Structure 1
Amino acid sequence: MLISFEGIDGCGKTTQARLLAEALRAQGREVVLTREPGGSPGAEEIRRLLVEGAGERWSPETECLLFTAARRDHLERTIRPALDRGATVITDRFADSTRVYQGAARGDLRAMVDRLHALTIGIEPDRSFVIDIDPATGLARGTARGGTEDRFERLGLGFQERLAQGFRALAAEYPDRVRLIDGRGTPDQVAARIRSAL
């Protein structure tokens, strides 16, 4: 299976991806835990271009192209080889993030995002979990992390609110694949909701 975790910045998806990977490994499964942008050497180089620097460093169109290039390398070098050998792949973000960030919140580019995805990626996760939390809470968490990977947090609360709306709309658009998970409570409580939905 290919499983993705999605949501606004600071929603807890990275923690939840790790907890699910640990739970599945405890059942004896081979699990590859990865992330986007990144997950392969070439994609990690592109990651630095995307998540560091000024919020308006790139246009939404350029971001879309860079994210898609990183995703293609990730698919070729990490995801497909793992799926081909029967592993479960859990990725912290995949195409749904591009659909929401560049396709809805940063610009009205959904048609471009979907066409690029069809041409260059061509697969969807078997299950996608959107961790849904209050945008102000997510922004506070993301800001508290510190570090240099804060480009999207710098775009402010209004941007995070548009992201949250976009992810909720995506869950309604793809009800067979996307599960909206209440992100309130302890990490273990959220993890239990995810395992139940899986």
Structure 2
Amino acid sequence: MAPGVFMPGVFITLEGGEGAGKSTQARLLAEALRLEGHEVELTREPGGTPGAEALRDVLLFGAAPLSRRAQVLGHMAARADHLDGLIRPALARGAIVVCDRFHDSTVAYQGYGLGMGDPALLAFIAAIREEVGGEPDLTLLLTVPPELGAARIAERGGRPDRYEAEARAFHERVADGFAALAQGQPERFRVIDASPPQDQVAATILTVVHKRLASR
């Protein structure tokens, strides 16, 4: 979770672009771990607590435009409440927390997607990230080809959120951001090809998680 702070639980995040199947795979992972007897908290970002869920609606579906820095601060505010109200208490009692998106999404979406890798914006995100804390123990980066991700979003239907509605170039920059994060932190990241059928992807993820749990 943070340098010098021991938490008996394990914090696992799932990251990736739109249509990668994060929500489905987070649910399947939580179900599999519960069947094995683990206590699991399945959650998401932005969200996870009443306050963070209220901010989610503004961040994803608010009609008013938000500057890049305002979006960063909004996501970080929701994350702080999420950490204080759900994630840290669950880890303190020894649970496994499985979270759909976390810090890395802010870097990829706001820092790379919207900010185009602007060093000043990335430094701004990094400073607030350090202050908020709560680094995952394991991050599963789900990847799919852009065309498959777009097809899955189209099949899903419904009202697109602020980021789903962005142009393809935005999503390509997001993918580049995630790739850079994974390359820079190979000890935390595991890159998962999410193109195969979901049960095959779920089996791959569970194998990776078992290895991480065994190494504790």
Larger deviation: 102-111 or 167-176?
Answer: 102-111
Q: CA deviation at 1:53?
A: 4.3
> Does the alignment pair 1:25 with 2:28?
no
Render the CA deviation track for 1:5-62: whole Å, top value 9, x for unaligned.
Answer: 00001110111111110110010000000000000000000000111145x8211111
| Partner SS, residue 108 of structure 2 | helix
Q: Deviations over 1:61-84 (max 9, x none)?
A: 110000000000000001011111
Residue 111 of structure 2, aligned match among 103, 106, 117: 103
Alignment deviations for residues 96-153 of structure 1 (CA, whole Å, 9 cap, x no partner): 000111111111221111100111x212100000101112221222233233352211
Equivalent position of 1:70 in the other structure: 78
**Unmatched tracts of structure 2, length 5 or more:** 1-9, 210-216
**Structure-1-length-normalised TM-score:** 0.95
Residue in 1 that maps onto 2:12: 3
Seq. identity, % = 51
1:34 corresponds to = 43
The SS at the match of 2:14 is: strand
**Length-normalised TM-score, structure 2:** 0.87
Q: 1:52 to 1:67 in 2, by over 3 A?
A: same
Structure 2 residue 178 is matched with structure 1 residue 167:
yes
Choose which of 118, 121, 128 in structure 2 pairs with 1:116: 128
CA distance in 1, matches of 2:19, 2:62: 18
CA distance in 1, matches of 2:165, 2:11: 31
Judge which range, 162-171 or 4-13, deviates more.
Answer: 162-171
Q: Report how many aligned residue pairs link the two structures.
A: 196
Correspondence 1:88 to 2:96: yes
| Distance in structure 2 (CA, Å) of the matches to 1:86 and 1:143 | 39
Unaligned runs of 5+ in 1: none
Distance 1:96 1:49 in 2: 20
Secondary structure of the residue aligned to 2:90 is: helix
Q: Larger radius of gyration, structure 1 or 2?
A: 2
In structure 1, how many angstroms separate the alpha carbons of the residues matched to 2:154 and 2:84?
33
Aligned mates of 1:181, 1:104 — CA distance in 2:
21
Q: Which amino acid is 1:26 matched to?
A: L
Q: For 1:6, give the aligned amino acid.
A: E
> Contact between 1:143 and 1:153, CA under 8 Å: does it hold in 2?
no
Which amino acid letter does the alignment assign opposite residue 176 of structure 2? Q
Distance in 2, matches of 1:73 and 1:181, equals: 29
